[in-house]
Amino acid sequence: MNEAALKLIARHGYEAVSMRQLAAEIGLQQAALYRYIPSKQDMLFALLHEHMVALLASCQEQVEASPPRRLYSFINHHVRFHLARRDATHVSNMELRSLDADKRVVILDLRTRYEEKLRAILRDGVSSGAFDLGGLDGEVELTARAIIQMLTGVVVWFRETDRLPVEAVSRIYSNMALRIVGAKTAIREETACIATA
Amino acid sequence: MNEAALKLIARHGYEAVSMRQLAAEIGLQQAALYRYIPSKQDMLFALLHEHMVALLASCQEQVEASPPRRLYSFINHHVRFHLARRDATHVSNMELRSLDADKRVVILDLRTRYEEKLRAILRDGVSSGAFDLGGLDGEVELTARAIIQMLTGVVVWFRETDRLPVEAVSRIYSNMALRIVGAKTAIREETACIATA
């Protein structure tokens, strides 16, 4: 049901899609759909909420690993998770503004919790000396934002090819993130901890 | 006239805004507006086109400078240009999909021309040895995309403060870009060549 709704909203935009179209796409009578989802707003909220909850749940924190490896795993998981959920990612990026303020706050709170995982990795890397933010140690938040933003475009342009499979792209972006934070060395091999992506 | 239209579309989204609202915001009768702009599509195209043409025109190529300095200037200009035009930037990012295919192609072509300026700087840096893409010398396009994408979020979250004025943010992002491409040194001072931003 979610996939059908996401596909429709990703293609036409939330404002342009009606509950009637959503019901038809899902294969339900409109009245039956309303029994599950009271309104189009509830539908959008459910889609965005599920996306963020899944992202948080699948992002494993490896507190025992070194900050560079944790950063590598975080980015690797982020890229793979979103590439596996293109429609949900697109709708989350484009339609957050269409959500009523009270619901938007809930999604933004989940996003903040997710970004906090990245900020914690950056802080640990700075304090252990593994990362060198180039005099910007106070700018962990800004750096975290830049890294997440850098990844956002991948879902838009990426098309898997032999030359550039998902694994290569996630590795390339992980190493770009390591460069941004001034990590001493790139990590080239695959990590085993991203199987949930 | 453009500012009023951009403000309205940035706030409510293109689909939700009517020509009647646009006319009212601009301070014209609807019939008078139609004399200037035949349709809402033409309005959106004019707004996105003007934005891209201004971006290209104001982006000075300093072919005589070193690749690191050219990259620094490019990013610096990019950040300042877009922060000075928040509504136009937001509309360009969010509403490109609302543009009819034939018009969208024109805007995408301008975007490609703009990105090509960045790619040229990266290629020159790689071939002169000033940049080290960490074994990704074939991935100039991917790196350019990651850099531009990294900048896109700035307009969303940035609010000027004493601690973080526009100059500081554009400098921070310019140096993050230099790190991504493996430039040997950060550039800390201001350049004089961004006065058109």
Contact list, A159 vs chain B (CB under 8 Å): none
The closest of A161, A147, A168 to A80, measured between CA atoms, is: A168
Name B139's Cβ contacts closer than 8 Å, sequence gap at least 6: A172, B133
> Which residue in A145, A146, A153 is closest to B145 by CB distance?
A153
- Give the pLDDT score at B146: 93
Whether residue A87 lies inside any domain: the answer is yes
Q: Rounding to the nearest 10 degrees, give the CA dihedral for residues A157, A158, A162, A163.
A: 70
- Give the pLDDT score at B21: 92
pLDDT values of chain A reduced to their tens digit, one per residue, 197 residues: 688 899 999 988 898 899 999 899 888 888 888 888 889 999 999 999 999 999 999 988 777 899 999 999 999 999 999 999 999 999 998 899 899 999 999 999 999 999 999 999 999 999 999 998 877 666 888 899 999 999 988 888 888 777 788 888 888 899 899 999 998 766 655 443 333 33
- Give the pLDDT score at B197: 35
Residues of chain B below pLDDT 50? 190-197
Whether residue B29 lies inside any domain: the answer is no
Q: Given the cut 0.85, state whether the ipTM is greater than it.
A: no
- Answer whether B16's CB lies under 8 Å from B2's CB: no
Whether residue B98 lies inside any domain: the answer is yes
- Give the pLDDT score at B101: 95
Q: What percent of chain B has pLDDT over 70?
A: 91
Whether residue A60 lies inside any domain: the answer is yes
Q: Do A149 and B146 touch (CB under 8 A)?
A: no
- Give the pLDDT score at A196: 35
Whether residue A85 lies inside any domain: the answer is yes
- Give the pLDDT score at B74: 95
The end-to-end CA distance of chain A, in Å, is 21
- Give the pLDDT score at A188: 55
CA–CA distance, B43 with B5 (Å, rounded to integer): 8
- Give the pLDDT score at B15: 85
- Give the pLDDT score at B1: 67
Contact list, A15 vs chain B (CB under 8 Å): 13, 15-16
- Answer whether A125's CB lies under 8 Å from A71's CB: yes
- Give the pLDDT score at A187: 65
Chain A nearest-CA distance from B101, in A, is 14
Whether residue A36 lies inside any domain: the answer is no
CA–CA distance, A54 with B52 (Å, rounded to integer): 37
Whether residue B76 lies inside any domain: the answer is yes
CA–CA distance, B10 with B108 (Å, rounded to integer): 20
Preferred mutation among B176, B181, B187 to probe A, highest tally of A CBs within 10 A: B176
Whether residue A63 lies inside any domain: the answer is yes
Number of compact structural domains in chain A:
1
Question: What is the CB-side half-sphere exposure of residue A21 using CA atoms within 13 A?
Answer: 14
If interface means Cβ-Cβ distance under 8 Å, which residues of chain B face chain A?
Answer: 13, 15-16, 94, 97-98, 134, 136, 139, 142-143, 145-154, 157, 164, 169, 172-173, 175-176, 179-180, 182, 186
Contact list, A169 vs chain B (CB under 8 Å): 142
Q: CATH no. for residue A104?
A: 1.10.357.10
Chain A nearest-CA distance from B133, in A, is 9
Domain, as residue range, for A115: 48-180
- Answer whether A175's CB lies under 8 Å from A190's CB: no
